[in-house]
Chains A and B, each alone.
Chain A
Amino acid sequence: MNAIKRLAQVNPPLLALLLAIILFFAGGLINPNFVNTNQAVNIVRLAAFLGIIAAGQTLVIISGNEGIDLSVGGVVTLAAILVYRISGGDNALLLPALAIALGAGALIGAINGLGVIAIGIPPLVMTLGMAGVIQGTILVVTQGQLIGATPPIMASAISEPLLLGIPGVIIIWILLSLIMWLVLERTTYGKNLFAIGVNRTTARLSGVRVPLVVVATYALSGMLSAFGGFVLLGFTRTVFLNLGQPYLFPSIAAVVVGGTVLAGGKGSYFGTMSGALVLTLIQSLLTAAQLQEAFQLMVLGVILLALLSIYGRQRKLRQ
């Protein structure tokens, strides 16, 4: 236990990754068929969807001041519907449709950011309200009639093996992780983002334009969620009104399990990726164990609490 604690102190993302690997092999005890390459690829593939959707959430949570984005689910759904409808299944219209979806996501995020920093609405309230607005708008505009189609090239690029038998979505995820690392660790924006997450007064007195960074962060979160919706559409190949909502709370849980501090100023996308793997694995395991849904939820909750209490202990030690 001490060793685990020490590991959690050094590196929560690594601890989460280790946990994922242990969980995977523990799956073999429940069901010997669980441990094989196909299953591993499948779990990483499922985790990739959650991981991509949680990318924006990571940025917003790092930005601090109770930063959180509850409009993630709505934006995922909206982006998928936009691509579905605008492209109408035509490969040629795929890129314009994607551009419009990403733009819509960024715009929604920017409005969230403005509401938070310019009007001073708490992020929880602002983004929750925005989620309602998005959901309502979708209903009003479509009247529940979701017409359109998924361009075949997109579905195959995302769902089918692209390179060495690895599904496209995993390759997309790896590319995204490189970009996220660059953004967070190797740009002025990333450095300023951590700074405003730790202490906005210090950041301002060091020349950081705090409102600009906040708006940019929420806009990025909206855009990344929209990208998540796009990728998810390539997997489901159809849209429904509740497409993104189930990913909202897992997206927050993945960020936190990955060691990103809810208070802001500390975290990594690598952590979020590990978190997404852990959450996906737990869910697959519980399904494999053929537990009732209610029990699955209970077990999931207990595991999350256990992990967070280890991290919490670490923060206390620090102070």
Chain B
Amino acid sequence: MSVSLSAQHVVKRYGGVVALADGNLDVQSGEVVALLGANGSGKSTLSKIITGVVAPNEGQLRLDGHPVSFKSPSEARRHGIAAVYQELSLIPDMTVMENIWLTHEPISLGRVNRREMRQRTRALLELFAGTYGEALSPDAIVKSLPPDERQIVEIVKALSSEPRLIILDEATASLDSQQVTRLFELIADWKTRDMAVIFVSHRMEEIFRIADRATVLRNGYSVGTRPISETNGRELVELMIEGATQPDARERAPVPADAHVRLRVTNLSAGPLRDVSFSLRDGELLGLGGLQGQGQSELLLALFGAMPSTGTITLSGETVHFRHPRQAMKHEIAFVPGDRASEGLLLSRSILENLHLPSWHKYGIPLRMKQARASAQANAEELRLVAESLDAPVSSLSGGNAQKVVIGKWLLRDPKLLLLNDPTKGVDVGAKAEFYGLLTELRKSGAAILFYSSDDDELLGLCDRVLVFHDGQLSAELQGDQVNRTNLVAASMGSLHAQAD
């Protein structure tokens, strides 16, 4: 049973933000189409539209030549479209087979036929036989499984609905090489059985192993499709960045080589992060780049003592091992988390309380409120915080002003090392510009800054040195003239191994 899917001029807006401006993609029976793009290029939006997770504002999806519009993922599934996501969609407390057959359980005589369910689950898992441990069985509880086996369950779950078109969205990220090879064998088999595959991956090497064609997205536009046999990594990377202007780099300033070394990291591993080594000098703004979720957040969390790690961390010559953020704070380290609402703020509490949360102990018992209020006031003015009063709840502030509170609470402690985890996400342009100015001032005052950003323009415009991460490892260290868009994107796809001297 053959299939063809065509997305034509698909547009998706979230409020005023255009996530996908002109999405075009064609895929047919017996082929694998790779979907590529840098951060924020619209690849996940496009795959969500195809699987019915979100509805497009404009444009058309045609399935087998007929226009379709899916109201839900289950409707897409009824049309033979299934997706495997990296962000796991399994229910942790249910068994493997309950997860796989959720909402389409085999029924006989009005009851769920658990025996049949178990048999069919076994048959599906057999596809990956020999690549997983003994714990993975139809009756295993999902949360007891390691990430790679959960990913296998996720893949098998998509297969259980016998799709004609399957989307693999970063589905190989947590698999080991043996499992990836098996998956690719399966994909080859699917092709012979007239299935179509859309393959989203950040691993260039995998794309060249498995894809027949590659479609590249840039800033929400489909900018080209190339047969894999007629292209190479360099051409695809250039398609991903073509025409983009280099941002103004006037903020970039190298630090003198004799500046004090604030931080030295040797062979640090934490979560997905493996064997990372680098150093950071006072007054330096060191960028962390790469696609999202390559271990950058974990690096910052580990340095702040918020996540267990192995390896050596040396601060101004002193080897430290933090088990709680409090210890890092005593060493004048500050951490601005990636998710303001859930990690950085106490939304229902006042601006004053948020600003002083890390610092209350400085004000004695009973707390000298006048003094606390005065310093918070000065801080708010310095940051040009726009708020009704310091007693207003933080939830009443705009994104940019809320972010100023997150940063302000650390500035009140006068940190020497700042860890910034994508601090300008969801912040308006004006507040971003103010924030860049603040970073420059902090550098001048001698603070060392480690700056992860999912916005490549920020890294290119602000950082003289950028560490690029790929699959939990440092894939490149770019310095000076090497800090350009081509290198940044190539390194984030794992296809550049430049090491600065």
Q: B-contacting residues of A (Cβ < 8 Å)?
A: 182, 186-188, 191-192, 194-195, 198-199, 201-209, 265-266, 318
Contact = CB atoms under 8 A, between A and B. Distances in A.
Interface in B13-40: none
A188 B372 CA distance: 12
Given A186-B367, A207-B358, A318-B395, A195 B325 contact: no
Interface string B409-430: 1000000000000000000000
A205 B328 CA distance: 10
A188 B365 contact: yes
Range of interface residues on chain B? Answer: 20 to 34
29 contacts: A182-B366, A186-B365, A187-B367, A188-B361, A188-B363, A188-B367, A191-B357, A191-B360, A191-B367, A192-B357, A195-B346, A195-B349, A198-B349, A202-B342, A202-B343, A202-B344, A204-B325, A205-B304, A205-B325, A205-B335, A205-B337, A206-B358, A207-B326, A207-B357, A209-B324, A265-B346, A265-B348, A266-B348, A318-B395
Interface in B383-399: 395
B107 interface: no
Contacts of B353: 191, 194-195
B344 A205 contact: yes
B347 interface: yes
B329 interface: yes
Nearest to A187: B365
A253 B345 CA distance: 29
Residue of B306, B347, B395 with highest tally of chain A CB at under 10 A: B347
Nearest to A182: B366
A206 B365 contact: no
Given A182-B366, A205-B306, A207-B326, A188 B343 contact: no
Contacts of B347: 198-199
Given A198-B347, A265-B348, A318-B395, A188 B360 contact: yes
Residue of A198, A201, A205, A208 with highest tally of chain B CB at under 10 A: A205
Contacts of A187: 365-367
Given A182-B366, A188-B360, A194 B344 contact: no
A203 B344 CA distance: 8
Given A188-B360, A318-B395, A194 B325 contact: no
A199 B342 contact: yes
A187 B356 CA distance: 12
Given A207-B325, A207-B358, A202 B366 contact: no
A282 B358 CA distance: 43
A199 B339 CA distance: 13
Nearest to B395: A318
A188 B369 CA distance: 11
A205 B353 CA distance: 15
B330 to A, nearest CB: 9
B200 to A, nearest CB: 30
Given A192-B360, A201-B343, A266-B348, A209 B365 contact: no
Interface string B347-381: 11100010011101101011101000000000000
Contacts of A188: 360-361, 363, 365, 367
Given A188-B360, A205-B344, 18 more contacts: A186-B365, A187-B365, A187-B367, A188-B363, A188-B365, A191-B353, A195-B353, A199-B347, A201-B342, A201-B343, A202-B346, A203-B346, A204-B324, A205-B337, A207-B326, A207-B358, A208-B357, A318-B395
Interface of chain A: mostly helix, strand, loop or mixed: helix
Nearest to A315: B348
A256 B472 CA distance: 48
A303 to B, nearest CB: 27
A295 B353 CA distance: 45
B364 to A, nearest CB: 9
A206 B409 contact: yes
A186 B360 contact: no
Interface string B252-281: 000000000000000000000000000000
A137 B358 CA distance: 42
Given A188-B367, A191-B356, A206 B325 contact: yes
A192 B361 CA distance: 10
A268 to B, nearest CB: 13
Interface in B26-81: none
Contacts of A186: 365-367, 369
B287 to A, nearest CB: 22
A246 to B, nearest CB: 33
A266 B347 CA distance: 11
A209 B324 CA distance: 8
Nearest to B368: A186
A283 B196 CA distance: 72
Interface in B228-249: none
A196 to B, nearest CB: 9
Given A202-B343, A265-B346, A195 B357 contact: yes
Contacts of A202: 342-346, 357
Interface in B181-199: none
A318 B395 CA distance: 9
Nearest 4 Cβ contacts at the A-B interface: A186-B366, A188-B360, A198-B346, A207-B326
Contacts of A208: 326, 357
Contacts of A194: 346, 349, 353
Contacts of A206: 325, 357-358, 409
B326 A205 contact: no
Contacts of A199: 342, 345-347
A266 B344 CA distance: 18
Contacts of B367: 186-188, 191
B349 A265 contact: yes
A195 to B, nearest CB: 6
A220 to B, nearest CB: 15
Contacts of A204: 306, 324-325
A208 B409 CA distance: 14
Contacts of B346: 194-195, 198-199, 202-203, 265
Contacts of A209: 324, 326
Interface string B157-198: 000000000000000000000000000000000000000000
Interface string B314-349: 000000000011100100000101000011111111
A191 B348 CA distance: 13
